[in-house]
Structure 1
């Protein structure tokens, strides 16, 4: 679509874009990471369980080469011996099976996570289209894969030669050992060799994993028009609208709470309502409501005010009047100028008293605050 419209994919993929891609089976994957995990698991299994495997294999060989005449000419007994040997050999390798299975199951979690998609296995014409195949063969991704394959071949080959060179005394010594210790020793050498060679794959994985994440993100990037189209298609859904409204409320509430420390006074009910006022004494405007709320929100406003030494004044009739007559950011209505002026005068006198600039003011009582009848609200409202 970006090619058709001529727009560049400059926008990061949205959650919906990523979710849709996962549903189609399109997730970031690193073959090198999976190969490294399997090789490390095999190395660990050889080191940890090599001795037991060697002992079992020697026991199987001893039993297989010590058959009597009756066993040799009795087909049923031969099949019995063969079955027992296969059974013992199979179960002696349980450590290898377990560790490699865990590596195969857990390695996808490190990049992309587990994902089951029926769409990924559906037949597509583009997969058998010769032209599409040629495009894939000569694409940048194909060249990168070729480079990785060559790098892996050279690195693993170099590490393998180094391991053989370092282990040559042990390898030559195997010929002088008895069968049982020689097999156990061989498995130990094999395990450590795998471990050393896996270091080369770790180096490649450390390069490949970030590249796969970058390439996946680049592939899912969107044009500005695609983002707008997606927003139009999702905004109409009730759950999306509800989520948007919830986020808007949360953002608005966080902004409101950040204004409380700058307030001059918080007028309370004292428990059900709280209204925070800010007055710019050098300005020409009226006092402004910077925060308001009921119940839990009112409690949070009071807590923040106490933390920042903002005066709290219990004036239930005025708190209810301000709450119902204003919105956040509004200046107080003209009808409440006198009421709020009484409160602010008291608060400013109290601040000067705390600084020992004047005597303590007389306590301000509810009945001292004059509230016009049209602004009075019933306590139950």
Structure 2
């Protein structure tokens, strides 16, 4: 009893170990299910870097046109567009201002929209799922909430935020120091020139920050991919269970295969009476052959060993099919030729001699 109890404990320990440790790579089915639930390797830093880089790129390219249009609008507003301070006049002015804002913001918003889609397509491809939006009661659990706050992911996000602040501060300080002599000349510049100088400095700042964030996003995506792979790893027990669900229970599969073999044997036994000869081992093996006149070669109608071989010989004797003992030939055919296949060329001579013997015997009878 004590030995059986120890064995049971070892089995339970093994099952718990299999169920607890995620050491196996995720199967294709596991990956599909995770993707369907929205669990994919994705870095928010990639989207932010793409968005910042592209948006300010468009602003820099469109800056001269935007500035000229804005200056013309202000000139028109003060000199050519008298506004009556009533409901109709104010409404017309607001409409004009909103239209100008829309013209200014349209390329920026369009670029931001396209970059958001593009950055996601690059990372995860095309994916539409509502699973992440479904409410989960476990998120209301304060214990789970504390675990998320002090989790490894939260620490990594905190370090990334600190790194971004440090990088932006360093780049801003470097650009300021390198261009500090420009600021003393702003008082002698016109509005347009001062705006251009300021815009150039802002563009340098955004460009270097964008490049720094882009490099950081590459490393962040690598980390997110690694973390995602770790999160969808499977235990040995889960792999076994999935294999059972996909392929079926091993006992059921064995029963199905047994029934398939039984059906094959039945069809095979029905073909034995059509054979020209049955070659035996003489005890363990039996092979039934028939000369195919259409193709001009002998083919195997049935074969078996043990009890199946005995049954083939019984059916052959009942059907008056000649049974010939040839240990070498029976073994070679049994192990090299499947049912319904032709005899290989290297066995033609030996089979021809057996068939000639059978035909002579039948002719004598």
* In the alignment, structure 1 residue 330 sits paired with structure 2 residue 335: yes
CA distance in 2, matches of 1:72, 1:172: 42
Distance, in Å, in 2 between the alignment partners of 1:328 and 1:11 is 44
Equivalent position SS for 1:163: helix
Aligned length: 271
Q: How far apart are 1:164 and its partner, in Å?
A: 2.6
Distance of 2:200 and 2:144 partners within structure 1 = 47
Alignment of 1:43-54 (within 5 A): 43-54=56-67
Aligned residue for 1:5? 16
Say which SS state the counterpart of residue 231 (structure 1) adopts. Answer: helix
**Structure 2: runs of 5+ lacking an equivalent:** 1-12, 254-293, 304-329, 359-365
Q: Using the alignment, how far apart are the partners of 2:33 and 2:221 within structure 1? A: 22
TM-score, normalisation: structure 2: 0.63
**For 1:35, which of 48, 52, 63 is the aligned residue?**
48
Larger radius of gyration: 2
- Bigger relative contact order, structure 1 or 2, given CA contacts below 8 A and separation 6+? 2
Which shows bigger deviation, 51-60 or 177-186? Answer: 177-186
String of CA shifts for 1:8-30, please: whole Å, max 9, x gaps. Answer: 21111111111111222222221
The counterpart of 2:346, out of the listed 331, 334, 340, is 340
Gaps of 5+ in 1: 242-314, 345-368, 376-381
2-structure distance, mates of 1:113, 1:173 = 50
Q: What is the match of residue 103 of structure 1?
A: 115
For the residue of structure 2 that corresponds to 1:71, the secondary structure is coil
Q: Tell me the C-alpha RMSD between the 2 structures.
A: 3.8
The structure with the largest helix share of the pair is: 2
Where 1:108 maps in the other structure, the secondary structure is: helix
Structure 2 equivalent of residue 321 of structure 1 = 299
Assess if the C-alpha contact under 8 Å between 2:333 and 2:343 holds in 1: no
Residue 329 and residue 342 in structure 1: after superposition, are their counterparts in 2 closer, same or farther (change >3 A)?
Answer: closer
Residue 140 of structure 1 aligns with which residue?
152
Structure 1 stretches of at least 4 aligned residues deviating more than 4 Å after TM superposition: 169-175, 322-329, 336-339, 341-344
- Pair 83,185 (structure 1): closer, same or farther in 2 beyond 3 Å: farther
CA distance in 1, matches of 2:58, 2:171: 20
Q: Secondary structure at the match of 1:111?
A: helix
Instruction: Give 1:170-319 correspondences, 5 Å limit.
Output: 170-236=182-248, 317-318=296-297
Residue aligning to 2:76: 63
